[in-house]
Chains A and B, each alone.
Chain A
């Protein structure tokens, strides 16, 4: 049973389209995150939610809108996709905001053509 699962695993789309990536965790954690790993392999935090509330937003363009319907889910919606959005997006969760022990999903590879 996968602890942090993301769908879809692969996503290929055209510039200008809108797409969503879903994330679910079954660990009972309070905190969830989205990270982006670009082509140079740098892994950067985008958002962090704690108990469905946004607590970290790392200067991400407002075309990216995270939504947390409940503690177990954190979805990422991206409007007007650009070439530079091509990356692997990782969802993660942790027991709370104080710990740095995160559990990551397998990633969703987004390719914008």
Chain B
């Protein structure tokens, strides 16, 4: 599975949009981009995933560039409870594909 690169940390003011970037320049055509987050002392939580089209759900939006080499997770109105480590993961569809978690981005939402 392709590797991803994320900034180690980001800050965001409460109520503003949080835009978390991810670089996955070696992604192959059948690999999906997944985003998870881990709030302190909790298990990881699935947020969203996509292949090539932009995706939106009740938690976030995922914007994938046309060449699929990078993506951005958008939390439209960040709250204090969104403070967490956010992981961008690239995964194939094979049963032998796994979620390989990197270091992620520590997002700190401040009042």
Residues of A within 8 A of B (CB): 4, 41-45, 48, 50, 55-56, 58, 90, 92, 96-98, 100-107
User: Are A55 and B43 in contact, CB atoms less than 8 angstroms apart?
Assistant: no
Task: Report the nearest B residue to A96, measured CB to CB.
Answer: B95
User: Are A100 and B95 in contact, CB atoms less than 8 angstroms apart?
Assistant: no
CA–CA, A100 to B99, complex, Å? Answer: 7
Tell whether B81 is near chain A: CB-to-CB under 8 Å: no
User: Are B45 and A104 in contact, CB atoms less than 8 angstroms apart?
Assistant: yes
User: Are A43 and B44 in contact, CB atoms less than 8 angstroms apart?
Assistant: yes
Residues 88-111 of chain B, each 1 if its beta carbon lies under 8 Å from chain A, else 0: 010101111111110100000000
User: Are A100 and B49 in contact, CB atoms less than 8 angstroms apart?
Assistant: yes
Task: Report the nearest A residue to B85, measured CB to CB.
Answer: A41
Tell whether B86 is near chain A: CB-to-CB under 8 Å: no
A45 contacts which chain B residues (CB < 8 A)?
A: 98-100
CA–CA, A92 to B36, complex, Å? Answer: 13
CA–CA, A101 to B63, complex, Å? Answer: 18
CA–CA, A73 to B24, complex, Å? Answer: 35
User: Are B45 and A56 in contact, CB atoms less than 8 angstroms apart?
Assistant: no
Task: Report the nearest A residue to B89, measured CB to CB.
Answer: A100
CA–CA, A8 to B98, complex, Å? Answer: 25
CA–CA, A101 to B97, complex, Å? Answer: 12
Question: In whole Å, how far is B73's beta carbon from the nearest beta carbon of chain A?
Answer: 15
User: Are B101 and A42 in contact, CB atoms less than 8 angstroms apart?
Assistant: yes
User: Are B46 and A43 in contact, CB atoms less than 8 angstroms apart?
Assistant: no
A96 contacts which chain B residues (CB < 8 A)?
A: 95
User: Are B49 and A90 in contact, CB atoms less than 8 angstroms apart?
Assistant: no
